Copies of this chain bind each other. A is one copy, B any other.
Amino acid sequence: MRASLKDLKNAVNQVKLLKKDPGNEVKLKLYALYKQATEGPCNMPKPGVFDLINKAKWEAWNALGSLPEETARQNYVDLVSSLSSSSESSSQVKPGADKEHAGYGTLVVTSEDGITKIMLNRPTRKNAISTQMYQEIILALKAASQDDSAITVLTGNGDFYCSGNDLTNVTDTPLGGIEEKAKNSTNLLRDFVASFIDFPKPLIAVVNGPAVGIAVTLLGLFDIVYASDRATFHTPFSHLGLSPEGCSSYTFPKIMGPTKATEMLTFGKKLTAREACAQGLVTEVFPDATFQKEVWTRLTAYAKLPSNVLRISKQVIRSMEKEKLHSVNVEESSIVQERFLSKESMNAVMNFLSKRAKL
């Protein structure tokens, strides 16, 4: 089913209704696809070197080569569709729970029985981590490290644990352009990962469903990982032109040996929960039907141990690696930043967004 001319016209109107500026890179992409869809291959003379804006437009259009008009039309419609869904409201916090922490837009944070629970709460987006969610998780971990709970749990609301980095983050380009975007994104990624490295109490992942990308790589920094047998573990970095992060280039070979780590991190092999457990990434797998009950029974018992004893035990086990993990994080982030600006990555992300919009 290809996009019709009417679909194109609707999409053009939809762009005007976007709540958020999609950023210059996306605007150029939209411009180019529209020109290609309506006028065919670039027929504009190349602007002079100082006519920056028209030159950028020309380059974007010209880059589409001889892309057929129907395809350009379809891609335009898909791109707009992905932009619309990415700017939907995500304020789905259930208000009013007894010990709920207020003020989070993408999380539900509660404290009870010595356990602080941070629940990713964008179920309709498979708990993809938006820029806002990155920032809020950093804040929630900071708060949990200082409250009086014994242990802290990260889990997801709905069918997914977390589908990883929200790729529509990429379309949210600042005025400084794609370079500044890449820099901001990787600085945020680095600080986000650092807040897991430094977390001083036992940190437990309750993996209720599929986990993708950074939601998987971070598991190497957790102290316990319990998974439903519905969970899967997938890091398609190479398919997106990207490279491993979350300290996984260090923790995964250590946990599962270098060859099983490479099959996951370099070649994007997806693991079942049982495979991930056999390889040491997951501590224990439970049948989905009894997952929540069994896990929370166990965690409630664990949380009764004296909180300062747990904190000291974690410190003894983890402290000697902290410095190393921080340096790995800095190194990985710097390579991700370069990757982010590579053609492989830009094309792969745009394709991913287009495909997803189509489905």
Contact = CB atoms under 8 A, between A and B. Distances in A.
A344 B309 contact: yes
A255 interface: yes
A241 B306 contact: yes
Kindly name the residue among A256, A263, A310, A314 whose own CB sees the greatest number of chain B CB atoms within 10 A: A263
Interface stretch (A7-15, A78-86, A217-225, A286-294): A217-225
B223 A258 contact: yes
Contact of A305 (B259, B267, B302, B331): B267
Contacts of A260: 280, 283
A103 to B, nearest CB: 31
Contacts of A316: 243-244, 249, 331-332, 335
A255 B258 contact: yes
A235 to B, nearest CB: 10
Interface string A219-262: 01011110000000000011101111000011111111111111
A262 B202 contact: yes
B257 A317 contact: no
A318 to B, nearest CB: 8
Contacts of A331: 316, 320
Interface residues of A, number: 56
Contacts of A259: 222-225, 280-283
A328 interface: yes
A184 interface: no
A308 interface: yes
Interface in A328-351: 328, 331-332, 335, 339, 344
A60 interface: no
Nearest to A225: B259
Interface in A271-309: 279-284, 302, 305-306, 308-309
A132 interface: no
B220 A258 contact: yes
A38 interface: no
A225 B317 CA distance: 22
A185 interface: no
A204 to B, nearest CB: 9
Nearest to A308: B344
A328 to B, nearest CB: 7
B225 A314 contact: no
Contacts of A302: 267
A328 B320 CA distance: 9
Contacts of A253: 254, 317
A63 interface: no
B223 A317 contact: no
Contacts of A243: 309, 312-313, 316
Interface in A204-221: 220
B283 A317 contact: no
A265 interface: yes
13 contacts: A202-B262, A223-B259, A237-B313, A238-B305, A244-B316, A251-B258, A254-B254, A254-B257, A259-B281, A260-B283, A262-B317, A266-B313, A308-B344
Given A267-B305, A309-B344, 8 more contacts: A220-B258, A238-B305, A244-B313, A250-B320, A253-B254, A256-B257, A257-B281, A267-B302
